[in-house]
Structure 1
Amino acid sequence: MAALVLVPLARESGEALRERVTETALVETHSELADGLLPRVAALVVVAAVLLWWNYREVGGRTSVARTPKWVAIVLAVAALGAAMGTIVQAVRIGHSGAAAVWSEAGGAPAPAGGEDDD
């Protein structure tokens, strides 16, 4: 749940930094990849919530609730692995593109102030 708050905060921080550096293709790629993280994190949170609910329902000791078929557990496990791996892969891609932008020659240079030379 915390990630649903932290991802937008990190994005805002990145947008503020983006305004201070020279706009390059690497910086643009990093920004575009960052746009795709929140939906993946949201999917991961939804799957985790469903797993928590399902586990509570199955193990909670309620005998009046009918047991769900075994395939439901398999589907939930596959969904959890898919959501987790998608989130991890996207985070690694974002980090790599950010590192590439910073370590490139032009990516780490501050943007010119006001767009004019200060002679």
Structure 2
Amino acid sequence: MSLLNGLPAHVLLVHVVVVLVPLTALVLVICALWPQGARRLGPALPVLALVTLASVPLTTGAGEWLERHVADDPLVRRHAELGDGMLPWALGLFVLAAGVWLISRRTPAAQAGARSGAVLRVAAAVLSVVVAAGAVVEVYRIGDSGAKAAWHDAYSKTATRPGDGD
């Protein structure tokens, strides 16, 4: 994907990732720590995580197109390198979301009677918190590097025109 409505697709698609990764991470942690929440959401959690996962390669693919259409810049290269690392985090969110959903589907009586079920729920909760935190930190790092690449020489720190409040 290259252009959407005359703009590089990456600059539009990146907003999907920036919103969906933290949202998916938050919902995953809530559902992992609160099984009733996971039961109430039903398949919405893994579906949200799947959409999040699908948005990452679309965005990075559009970013690769954009990278070929801008001047060679170390900040752009750094952003691209960091962006390539997002897919494993999104995959982790999806796998854990599917696992938390499957665990939540077990009947409460079966969960209460099985010690292994409790261990599985605790392991899923711990992994969910770790992967969710890692995914959010990674999105922040990628976004910060992208903003620096896009804006590092595109504005003046002092006002170039008089305006209100300057």
Smaller-chain TM-score bracket? 0.7 to 0.9
Aligned to 1:31: 80
Q: Unaligned stretches of 5+ in structure 2?
A: 1-49, 155-166
- Aligned: 1:93 with 2:141: yes
Of 90, 114, 121, which aligns to 1:67? Answer: 114
1:59-83 Cα deviation digits (max 9, x unpaired): 4x6x5x9524433222111101111
TM-score in terms of structure 1 length:
0.78
2-structure distance, mates of 1:54, 1:89: 26
Q: Which amino acid aligns with 1:39?
A: P
* Contact 1:58-1:67 at 8 Å conserved across structures: no
Q: Which has the higher contact order (CA 8 A, sep 6+)?
A: 1
Offset, 1:92: 0.6
2-structure distance, mates of 1:40, 1:46: 10
2-structure distance, mates of 1:99, 1:71: 42
TM-score in terms of structure 2 length:
0.57
- Coordinate RMSD, CA, aligned: 1.9
Aligned pair in 2 of structure 1 residues 24, 90: CA closer, same or farther (>3 Å)?
same
Aligned to 1:16: 65
1:49-64 correspondence to structure 2 within 5 Å: 49-59=98-108
Question: Between the two proteins, what is the percent identity of the paired residues?
Answer: 35
Of 96, 99, 109, which aligns to 1:47? Answer: 96
Q: Which runs of 4+ in 1 moved over 3 A?
A: none
2-structure distance, mates of 1:92, 1:78: 21
Q: Unaligned stretches of 5+ in structure 1?
A: 107-119
1:8-60 Cα deviation digits (max 9, x unpaired): 1101111111111111111011000001000110011101111111110144x
Q: Which amino acid aligns with 1:72?
A: L
Q: Which amino acid aligns with 1:83?
A: V
Aligned pair in 2 of structure 1 residues 17, 80: CA closer, same or farther (>3 Å)?
same
Larger radius of gyration between Structure 1 and Structure 2:
1
1:82-115 Cα deviation digits (max 9, x unpaired): 1111111111100000000011128xxxxxxxxx
2-structure distance, mates of 1:105, 1:11: 23
Give the length in aligned residue pairs: 103
